[in-house]
Structure 1
Amino acid sequence: MDTRRRESVKRFQDGRENVEHDSRSSRPSTSKTDEYIGKVGILIRSDRQLSIRAIAESIAIDKECVRQILHENFNMRKVCAKLVPKIFTFEQQEARKNICIDTLNAIENDSNLSERVITCDESWFFAYDSET
């Protein structure tokens, strides 16, 4: 039997009836100071796409402290947005295939088309024509 368990058993044998943990003094948080909160605020305002890990590494504090600061002091939550679903329905697959075929046919018909295409993201593309 380890020491903690022995102490608990002894307390109950001595008449203790409460099973709740005793309050104890915990180690104070050293990373959640006003200085670190300010540093996290400056970093997150400069680039909102920084990860918790990147912020923690740049100011040399624990990731959990960064997460708590973002959550409690700046009321920020982790949000993930996916623009393209991982599993397409049959109709989505067909539509995507048809768009690709149309694009390939357009490139075959106009060899300069690929020089005039400006990509924006995975979903859209724009063709630039200097005459229009």
Structure 2
Amino acid sequence: MELERRDFRAMMFYDFMRKISVEQSHDNLVEAFQDQAPSRRTVERWYLDFRRERTSLQDEARSGRPSTAVTPETIAAAETLIREDSRINYEQFAETLKIGKAAINTILHDYLGVRRSAARWIPHNLSEMQLEARVEWCKFMLKKFKGGEYKRVYDILTCDETWIYQYDLETKRQSSIWVFPGEDPLLKFAGLAALGKDDGCFFL
């Protein structure tokens, strides 16, 4: 069953009148309608309108570019652009699709339900077995420490030298991508070519 935006707005208004939070309302919609559900940002925007005593669930008339800019063709084209380049920005959307930013925002958040997510940088890509081994080792050492078998950690005094590498990392904005509902955000693993290195000395 294909629902229209007005149908979802009616559900949001019902939740609003029952004093259900934005988070819970959005979670309920996603649980019931999955990918068809509006984005959290859309729910927030409508809750704000309801607080301003808005009663109409229809789209308000807008000046400028007609609403016909949002069509099945432009929606499909926007999805294709994201699939081809998940880092595409609003300016590139506008230049390729020849539509305004308001229409692009509607397509991205109300129809495609995508969100912008920054890549998470982690030092190593460990396997499940390696992760489990580290957890078990930590549990073993904590058990020995709490049981009084191993207190020598307080006597440690050491010095070590190591190389500190310099990397030219992307900014959070540069590394962010469009993520579709149900997709995991991008992970970036260590292994970049170092721009330089310095010698560091540490005491413990």
Same fold (TM over 0.5): no
Instruction: Judging by fraction of residues, say which structure has more strand.
Output: 2
TM-score by length of 2: 0.30
TM-score, normalization: structure 1? 0.43
Tell me: higher relative CO, structure 1 or 2? Use CA pairs within 8 A at least 6 residues apart.
2
